[in-house]
Amino acid sequence: MSTDTETLERIRRDIDRIDDRIHDLLMERAALVEKVAQAKAGDASVPLRPGREAEIVRRLAARHAGRFPLAAVVRIWREIIGALIGLQRPFSVAVCQPERGDGFLELARDHFGVVSGKQVFPSPGHVVRAVADNVASVGLVPLPGDLEPEPWWLSLTAGADNLPQVVTRLPVLPLPPAPGRSDTVEGFVIACRPHDDTGADRTLVAVETVPDLSRDRLRALFTTSGLEFGAVLATHREEDRWLHLCEVESYVTTDDARLAALLGGGKDPVRHARVIGGYPLPLPPQA
């Protein structure tokens, strides 16, 4: 056997040994998750912890080095996380799949993994109802826009108990356009649980205002109340009121005093304000 062949065989044995170690650690991690599930046996809530998941991915990205692509690291860990969520409790994803392609189903697979069940629905409203009625554990809906006749995010403002909230924005690691790579599809994950505080977050606030209120004026009202205004993601216009979906550049809860200040005691043009969720900031785009 030549020296080169011996070297290759030794390298392959080292790779096999590393594969065994990785496999052993995956089985060990699964055993720990099973213990977590046993400790939470009486907890019927969805076993999703978007903040914790974001912190894991951020920590791995910060320590990553070498030529192995970060996008592949994120994908591997998303598969691990998705599989282990399913060990705690039955888990399924409702996916809004518009007619223009399969990007949202692919986005759901990339984030929740191949193990979790996926149910396809024709509209965001169907997805919201599926999550609210416990037909699905979580839902994936498109980012909102101004031209929607029935915006899905309005149903998250109804004030009923256990309404879904936005908890994650996908993808968690955007990729730039490249030959052979489909255009990036973006969406929000909704679940019947509050959004998390990770220290680097955005909060979604739905506000009702008088008609004809400009976005510049709305931004000024947010700033005066002490909220870090980011953008208006969508506006829905009705004859006697306008509804805006606003993004705040921090973590905000429903009982935050700044929301009360935004209303101005009824003197300002903002009539109502409701937090409908939020999300951890995604990682910076990678080449």
Q: How confident is the model at residue 46 (pLDDT cuts 50, 70, 90)?
A: confident
Cis-peptide, bond into residue 171, ω within 30° of zero: yes
Pick the residue with more confidence: 221 or 42?
221
Least confident of 64-68, 103-107, 158-162: 158-162
Q: How confident is the model at residue 265 (pLDDT cuts 50, 70, 90)?
A: low
Please report which helix (H) or strand (E) contains residue 120, including its range. strand 117-121
Distance set, CA 85 to CA 15, 21, 115 (Å): 29, 22, 10
Predicted confidence at residue 277, as pLDDT, reads 97
Return the axis-axis angle of helices 70-88 and 3-39, rounded to nearest 10°. Answer: 40
Is pLDDT at 1 greater than 70 in this prediction?
no
Is pLDDT at 22 greater than 70 in this prediction?
yes
Is pLDDT at 179 greater than 80 in this prediction?
no
Q: How confident is the model at residue 5 (pLDDT cuts 50, 70, 90)?
A: confident
Q: How confident is the model at residue 6 (pLDDT cuts 50, 70, 90)?
A: confident
Both ends of the chain: CA-CA distance in Å?
Answer: 42
Exposure string for 139-165, b = 16+ CB within 10 A, e = fewer: bbbbebeeebeebbbbbbbeeeeebbb
Predicted confidence at residue 267, as pLDDT, reads 63
Return the axis-axis angle of helices 103-112 and 70-88, rounded to nearest 10°. Answer: 80
Which residue, among 57, 275, 2, has the nearest Cα to 174 in the 3D structure?
A: 57
Is pLDDT at 13 greater than 90 in this prediction?
yes
Task: Please state the rounded mean pLDDT for residues 89-93.
Answer: 91
Is pLDDT at 278 greater than 70 in this prediction?
yes
Least confident of 125-129, 150-154, 158-162: 158-162
**Are the C-beta atoms of residues 27 and 142 closer than 8 Å to each other?**
no
Report residue 242 as tokens. 């306008």
Tally the C-alpha atoms within 13 A of residue 182's C-alpha that lie toward its C-beta: 10
Predicted confidence at residue 56, as pLDDT, reads 96
Task: Please state the rounded mean pLDDT for residues 169-197.
Answer: 86
Q: Quick check: helix, strand or coil at residue 50?
A: helix
Task: Please state the rounded mean pLDDT for residues 81-96.
Answer: 91
Beta bridge partners of 7: none
Would you list the DSSP string of 133-194?
TTSSSEEEEEPP-TT-SS-GGGGGGS--TT--EEEEEE-SS-----TT-PPPP-EEEEESS-
Q: In what order do the strands lie in the sheet with 270-280?
A: 117-121, 92-96, 138-142, 187-191, 165-170, 270-280, 201-209, 241-248, 229-238
User: How many whole angstroms separate alpha carbon 30 and alpha carbon 84?
Assistant: 6
Q: What percent of the chain lies above the pLDDT cut of 70? A: 93
Predicted confidence at residue 148, as pLDDT, reads 80
Pick the residue with more confidence: 84 or 179?
84
For 73-83, the pLDDT digits (tens) are 999 999 999 99
Q: How confident is the model at residue 45 (pLDDT cuts 50, 70, 90)?
A: confident
Q: Which domains does the chain have, with CATH numbers?
A: 44-191 (3.40.190.10), 201-280 (3.30.70.260)
Q: What is the mean pLDDT of the chain?
A: 90
Is pLDDT at 88 greater than 90 in this prediction?
no
Would you list the DSSP string of 192-237?
SS-----SSEEEEEEEEE-TT--HHHHHHHHHHHT--EEEEEEEEE
